[in-house]
Amino acid sequence: MGSQVPDPERTTELLWGTGSRRGLDLDTIVRAAIGIADAEGLGAVSMRRVAEQLGFTSMSLYRHVPGKAELLDLMRDAVMAIPEWTAPEPTGHDQADTGRTDTGPSVTRSGDPAGWRGGIEAWARAGLAMYRQHPWLLESGGPRTVPGPNAVAGFERALALVATTGLAPSQIVAVVTLVGGFVESAARQMVDVVTAERDTGVTHEEFWTSRGSLFEHLDRYPTLRRIYEQGGYDEPVDPFEFGLRRVLDGIDTLIRDESRDDSRVGRACTVCGSPIEPTGKGRPKAYCSRACQQRAYRDRVG
């Protein structure tokens, strides 16, 4: 983005449609800019270049978007409008904002692969696909980039999925940040390879299989030599899939550990306040005795 810095208030207006002139014309400008960035990289995008491609003058564009910095923000949010990234997760969990209820941990803490884990896997893969299709995304953001509705919707989807685990709110944010950071790191490695191949016309495999002069020096490293001789490089694992599984395994361990900790914490009777000895099995008890349970029932029915 060079020295251009977007006006965050104006960017918010453009992204969220408050006081802006959002319409077909602005959408056309953004889509044209995305097409240029996808084909030629972010450096090829300029107000003049977009205007020329659309058959207008640069001044025509400035009536809809203040400059390139704001245009980049709009481009970022536009390419995030993919269902796997932004679609709300249909859960029906009324406690998703805290992950906890009066009856103890969420019942989805078991790490069911059809629940939070399957959803986060899909979210992560959608993120990688998004970076693969629009590699300039890795260059266009920053710690103070104003998020648009699609960016926030993607974040919301991931938060909602992890919230069903019953983790504490700060842990939910940390988990989503961890997975998102892993996806961005994996995407950066992937884009670096693709960019090098495009710029040189030599594939990644061709480059490394031609490095015989380097390999001659590697025999002095015994562990590396042994792993190579035992076929460690013959069938390399997919780094994204391997890394994603290990990250999610770690999160699953955290969920299980937190669940066990909760089961060991004593509770107070909701009727008389007396302590309840934890059993470590099933749903935590709400009453210390049968008498308190019956009293609570009578209070409910009047």
Contact 123, 158 (CB under 8 A): yes
| pLDDT of residue 127 exceeding 80 | yes
More confident residue, 40 or 96: 40
Contact 95, 41 (CB under 8 A): no
Q: How far is CA 142 from the centre of its chain?
A: 15
Residue type for 133, please?
Q
Q: What is the pLDDT of residue 201?
A: 92
The phi-psi region of residue 148 (left if phi > 0; otherwise alpha if psi is between -120 and 50; otherwise beta) is: beta
State percent of the chain over pLDDT 70.
80
| Fold agreement between 1-79 and 83-260 | no
Determine whether 123 is exposed, middle or buried from the number of CB atoms within 10 Å of its CB (0-12, 13-18, 19+): buried
Q: Categorize the per-residue pLDDT at 173 as very low, low, confident or very high, splitting at 50, 70 and 90.
A: very high
Domain 1-79 of CATH type 1.20.140.10: no
Q: What CATH architecture applies to the domain 83-260?
A: Orthogonal Bundle (1.10)
| pLDDT of residue 205 exceeding 80 | yes
Parse the chain into domains and list their residue ranges. 1-79, 83-260, 266-301
The residue behind tokens 């536009």 is 78
267-268/100-101 β-pairing: unpaired
All residues at 6 or more sequence positions from 70 whose CB lies less than 8 Å from its CB, including other chains? 6, 7, 10, 11, 14
| pLDDT of residue 255 exceeding 70 | yes
- Per-residue pLDDT, averaged over 95-124, amounts to 57
